[in-house]
């Protein structure tokens, strides 16, 4: 895989460099609530601009239906990128239309532009190779070189990620190079004990990685909404908690396999419950109750791990040499249900382990809860991409960057 440093050594001054970034930031209206993904691409964009390239940054945001939708405009991300660069960033109001062509044509050496959300064009995500290829051809007309640096999208076979690199000389940006190097530490010659912490809403999102990590991890801790499917699989009442009934047989099989292989599977001892989901806008007090994990009332919903579980999980992380964490332990966006996620984050800060925080929600939680990002080994920008890499899958966007 060619690196950006090799590209820079060959000279990029005066050349149009298409940077496929991941600016898929969370928005509250037009306000960015977490700019971590924009910050992550700064080293690549800055280095190219300093070398005199005409930088064209592109990304998706959200899931528009292949047509322009103001709610998913990249305009706020472009403005924030300009603030972080301390320079004007031009913004094209379309992807490959007249605005994009004019903005790119108007770039001077060392200047940066952002084009509108790639998913406003149906060709970006099309499953039809010809349609996707046609859009990639149009994108290729905007550039002379391609730099892939949107790690959060490399598991997608999309035009800007998979097809475009085949049409231009290409290289991996600093973010992708860093992410791959870090993930290799989780898959090759891993330092042990190797502890995996998995949370988030749906157990179905994590089945592949659990299946693969049962062959590699020494200990797996489960939290978040997915924990209730595991508890149900053990025969416990979970009330009105998030539950995927259809996954119970698979979860039981994983628990049995873990036991047979000597992998320690750790589930919550207690949980915070409430009869209703908290109001995340007003953050009004929710007044949750703490109950044992095997005694959730039928009319209550589990929304965070409890205090005994926090202590248990911290103890299970204390001796780790390597930790991968993907998914919050509860509804961390509300202060009454943030302590489980905070406890895991603090345990990683306190641990000498090489810790990788993977996934948009986990990374956002670390920042929202006030932790110093430098206190962790690495904070990944790609949840789905990280998981698929750990599952052993070939990621289209990485394969496309190989020479």
Residue 37 marked as a ligand binder: yes
Residue 306 marked as a ligand binder: no
Tell me which residues are annotated as active site: 37, 202, 360, 384
CA separation for the pair 372, 116 (Å, rounded): 32
Residue 24 marked as a ligand binder: yes
Residue 137 marked as a ligand binder: no
Residue 61 marked as a ligand binder: yes
Residue 60 marked as a ligand binder: yes
Radius of gyration of the chain (CA): 22
CA distances from 394 to 182, 185, 199, 376 (A): 16, 17, 24, 27
Residue 361 marked as a ligand binder: yes
Residue 299 marked as a ligand binder: no
Residue 121 marked as a ligand binder: no
CA separation for the pair 6, 181 (Å, rounded): 17
Residue 231 marked as a ligand binder: no
Residue 289 marked as a ligand binder: no
CA separation for the pair 193, 244 (Å, rounded): 30
Residue 378 marked as a ligand binder: no
Q: Which residues are annotated as a binding site for substrate?
A: 22-24, 37, 60-63, 119, 156
Q: Which residues are annotated as a binding site for ATP?
A: 206, 302, 333, 359-362
Q: Which residues are annotated as a binding site?
A: 22-24, 37, 60-63, 119, 156, 206, 302, 333, 359-362
């Amino acid at each position: 895989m060619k690196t950006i440093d090799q590209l820079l050594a060959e000279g990029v001054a005066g050349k149009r460099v298409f940077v496929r970034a991941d600016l898929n930031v969370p928005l509250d209206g037009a306000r960015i609530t977490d700019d971590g993904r924009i910050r992550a691409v700064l080293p690549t964009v800055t280095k190219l601009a300093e070398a005199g390239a005409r930088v064209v940054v592109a990304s998706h945001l959200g899931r528009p239906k292949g047509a322009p939708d103001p709610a998913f405009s990249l305009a706020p991300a472009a403005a924030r990128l300009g603030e972080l660069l301390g320079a004007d960033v031009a913004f094209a109001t379309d992807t490959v239309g007249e605005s994009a062509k004019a903005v790119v044509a108007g770039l001077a050496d060392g200047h940066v532009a952002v084009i509108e959300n790639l998913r406003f064009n149906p060709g970006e995500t099309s499953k039809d190779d010809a349609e996707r290829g046609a859009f990639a051809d149009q994108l290729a007309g905007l550039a002379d070189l391609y730099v892939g640096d949107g790690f959060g999208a490399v598991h997608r076979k999309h035009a800007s990620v998979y097809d475009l690199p085949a049409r231009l000389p290409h290289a991996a940006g600093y973010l992708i190079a860093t992410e791959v190097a870090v993930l290799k530490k989780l898959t090759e010659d891993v330092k042990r004990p190797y502890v995996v912490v998995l949370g988030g809403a749906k157990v179905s999102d994590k089945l592949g990685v659990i299946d693969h990590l049962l062959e590699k991890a020494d200990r797996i801790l489960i939290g978040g909404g997915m924990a209730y499917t595991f508890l149900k699989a053990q025969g416990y009442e979970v009330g009105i908690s998030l539950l995927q009934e259809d996954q119970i047989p698979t979860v039981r099989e994983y628990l049995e396999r873990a036991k047979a292989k000597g992998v320690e599977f750790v589930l919550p001892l207690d949980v915070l419950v409430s009869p209703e989901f908290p109001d995340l806008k007003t953050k009004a007090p929710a007044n949750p109750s703490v109950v044992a994990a095997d005694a959730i009332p039928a009319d209550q919903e589990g929304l965070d791990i409890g205090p005994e579980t926090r202590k248990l999980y911290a103890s299970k992380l204390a001796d780790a040499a390597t930790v991968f964490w993907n998914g919050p332990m509860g509804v961390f966006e509300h202060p009454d249900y943030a302590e489980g996620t905070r406890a895991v984050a603090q345990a990683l800060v306190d641990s000498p382990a090489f810790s990788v925080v993977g996934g948009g929600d986990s990374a956002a939680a670390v920042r929202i809860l006030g932790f110093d990002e430098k206190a962790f080994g690495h904070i990944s920008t790609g949840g789905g991409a990280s998981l698929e890499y750990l599952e052993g899958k070939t990621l289209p966007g990485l394969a496309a960057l190989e020479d």
